[in-house]
Structure formats: structure tokens, C-alpha cells
Amino acid sequence: MSTSTPTGRAWQLAARPHGWPTPADFALVETPNPEPEPGQILVRNLFLSVDPYMRGRMNDVKSYAPPYELDRPMLGGAVGRVVASAADGVAVGDHVLHGLGWREYALVDAAQAAVVDPAQAPLPAYLGVLGMTGLTAYAGLLRAAEFTAGETVFVSGAAGAVGNQVGQIARLKGAARVIGSAGTDEKCALLVDEYGFDAAFNYKNGPVAAQLKDAAPDGIDVYFDNVGGEHLEAAISALRVHGRAALCGAISAYNDIEPAPGPRNLGLLVGRRITLRGFLVRDHQDLKPDFVRDVGGWLRDGKLRYRETVVTGIDQAVAAFLGMLRGENTGKTVVALPE
């Protein structure tokens, strides 16, 4: 045990957003920090993850992740330092990855926390490039989409956390051609110049189908879908015989009030023997050793690059989340909580 700050701030959901969330849907509340019971640790969070799926948890809808409760601290990935421990095997001063984000201090069951080593990688990397979004890219491309060397890959949301890593893993695993789409010309330049994509286009500059046709005149073998909507329809039209799409997310629809129409070209799936496969990263934890070996090695060798969007201060967490939904981020978005 050790002494700790008596209170900490936590973000609660104050109202369920209708369409785009507004700051009034959230409340930053000061709460006492309880002492750990046997098996528990008290963690001073240092980096919080903000992720697109959190928007879904703000709705009162049964889904793969339960809805956030109103007037209760929200949940999410976080990395922090243990400040009090009543658990065997986790000591004060250890750093841990856990699921009680959106708050400064978290009382965590040690069984639900993983010790991480800040000497092996900077702490925010455990939320991004070496964490959940990185494994999503790895598992989605290699397992859900069954990518193999020599294929042409298109990824949407390509300058974001998952997307940039999909493109780089495809390149490093021998893709014939890697194409990305993103929402600004600067992001597209980054994809080509820094991440080694063969081509990139700004989906805000014109119809996706026409821009994809220019970038991949011979079609694509794999589509990694982070966006849904117009992107998915365009990609289906571009997929070749035996093409596959890994459906990772559909962020273009997360703030919709009415369901958007689906792709109008599903008839193509039959003749082209196309597979569309949804996946969740939680089902692919067995790939973690391969993922850490591959990505850790590429990072050490300078073959895989990454950027993070770091927003500082617990009071800025909602702004960081909304900014990420609007595309203000490049790479993984994290909130830093300096001590």
C-alpha cells in the first residue's frame, strides 16, 4: 500500500447523444479514490484511449459492447502507474494496461490488468501501434481478409490508427500495391511519403468509385473497411474474382440518426465469388505473439512508422474523442494525463 490522492476526476455520460455528441452529453465529475481491496490495485492513469466504438456505447442499444450507463464513469482502454496495491504480483510503481479509462484514477481488479514495460515501448504505444488498434490491423488484414503476398490492398480511414498500420503491414508482407483513402490532402501525402503506400486519394475531393478506379485500374484483391457507406460500395465494385473485404468498422455511419442505405451492388458478390467478413479484435488474441514479434521487429528496424495524436488534460478528453470522430487526428488518438 501507499498513500494516494484522495479524489480524482472521471468523465460520465450525462445524456445519450442524438446524432453527433455535444459537450453537454458529458460531465467531468470529482469522485473519491477508494483503497484497494484484496486483489485490487489503484492506478493513476497516464494515457487514455479514445476510440470510435465508444460512440456506439453511448446509445442504449444491445451490441457487442454493453451501453455506457448514464451518470457513471465511462469505460475505455488506459495505461497508468500503480499507486496502491493489494494484489499479489503487481507492485506500486508498475505500469499496467486496463479497461477503466476516461478517469484520472482507476480501482482495477489486478486480474483485469496487464503489466507493461515502459522500457520496451513508450506507454501510449500499448494503446495503439502495439495495442488494440495495431492488433486489429494485423488480425483484420492477415486473418479476416486472408491477405497473401502479391495482392492489391485498399484501406479506408488510412491515416487513422488502424488504417495506416493495415497499409504498412500489407506493404511489409509483400503486397503488389497498397492504396489508401483519407479525408485531407496532407494525410494522403503522408500515406505515400512516410508510410510507403503506392497511392492515396482524398475521399472529399470526388466520388470514391472514380478515385479508386484511377488508383487501382486493374481492381483490388482485398478491401479493409474502416468507413462503410460509399467506400464499401465502391470497393465491392473494384474487387476482383475471389476478392475479400474485412469489415472492421463503418465510422461514416456512427452518428447517423437513421440507418444509411446499404451497398447497391451486392449482386456482384455471386459471380465474382467475393467474401465480406466482419471481425472483432477480441476474437484474435491468439495472434498477439506473432503480432508483437512482427510489429516489434519492424519498429526496431525502422520499417514501420507511426504517429500519434496526443491531447493533454483530462478536461480535454471529450474534445479529443469528438475531434477523432471528425478526422482531426492522424494515427492513434490518446489523452495524456501528466502528473
What's the rounded Cα separation, in Å, for the pair 195 and 286? 27
Site residues (CB under 6 A) for ligand NAP, limited to 279-298: 279-281
53 binds ligand NAP (CB under 6 A): yes
Task: Indicate the residue among 105 and 224 with the shorter CB distance to ligand NAP.
Answer: 224
Output the smallest distance, CB 235 to ligand NAP, in A. Answer: 12
249 binds ligand NAP (CB under 6 A): yes
What one-character-per-residue DSSP string does 71-93 give? TSB--B-EEEEEEEE-STT--TT
329 binds ligand NAP (CB under 6 A): yes
What's the rounded Cα separation, in Å, for the pair 73 and 228? 30
Single out the segment in contact with ligand NAP by CB under 6 A; choices: 29-37, 70-78, 288-296, 326-334: 326-334
Contact by Cβ (8 Å): 24, 41: no
Question: Which phi and psi (to 5°) does residue 249 adopt?
Answer: -170, 170
Task: Indicate the residue among 8 and 229 with the shorter CB distance to ligand NAP.
Answer: 229
Q: Which does 252 bind (CB under 5 to 8 A by kind): ligand FER, ligand NAP, none?
A: ligand NAP
136 binds ligand NAP (CB under 6 A): yes
Sequence-distant (≥ 6) Cβ neighbours of residue 39 within 8 angstroms: 86, 87, 109, 110, 111
What's the rounded Cα separation, in Å, for the pair 108 and 40? 6
Give the ranges where 70-203 is alpha helix by DSSP (H).
Answer: 132-139, 161-172, 185-193
What's the rounded Cα separation, in Å, for the pair 224 and 209? 15
133 binds ligand NAP (CB under 6 A): yes
85 binds ligand NAP (CB under 6 A): no
Q: What is the largest CA-CA distance in the chain?
A: 67
Q: Binding marks (x or -) toward ligand NAP, 143..182, rule CB under 6 A?
A: --------------x-xxxxx------------------x
Single out the segment in contact with ligand NAP by CB under 6 A; choices: 24-32, 71-79, 189-197, 247-255: 247-255
Q: What share of the chain is helix, strand, coil (3-state, %, to 5)?
A: 35, 30, 40
What's the rounded Cα separation, in Å, for the pair 313 and 334? 10
Q: Which does 160 bind (CB under 5 to 8 A by kind): ligand FER, ligand NAP, none?
A: ligand NAP
52 binds ligand FER (CB under 6 A): yes
What's the rounded Cα separation, in Å, for the pair 312 and 100? 18
* Interface pick for ligand FER out of 26, 40, 47, 51 (rule CB under 6 A): 51
Single out the segment in contact with ligand NAP by CB under 6 A; choices: 33-41, 168-176, 266-274, 319-327: 319-327
Quick check: helix, strand or coil at residue 296?
helix
Output the smallest distance, CB 280 to ligand NAP, in A. Answer: 4
Task: Indicate the residue among 15 and 280 with the shorter CB distance to ligand FER.
Answer: 280
105, three cell numbers: 484514477
- Helices and strands: H and E segment counts in the chain: 9, 15
Q: Which does 227 bind (CB under 5 to 8 A by kind): ligand NAP, ligand FER, none?
A: ligand NAP
Task: Indicate the residue among 282 and 293 with the shorter CB distance to ligand FER.
Answer: 282
280 binds ligand FER (CB under 6 A): yes
Question: Which phi and psi (to 5°) does residue 242 adopt?
Answer: 65, 20
Task: Give me the residues that bind ligand NAP (CB under 6 A), please.
Answer: 51-53, 133, 136, 157, 159-163, 182-184, 187, 203, 226-227, 248-249, 251-252, 279-281, 324-325, 327, 329, 333
Task: Give me the residues that bind ligand FER (CB under 6 A), please.
Answer: 51-53, 64-65, 249, 280-282
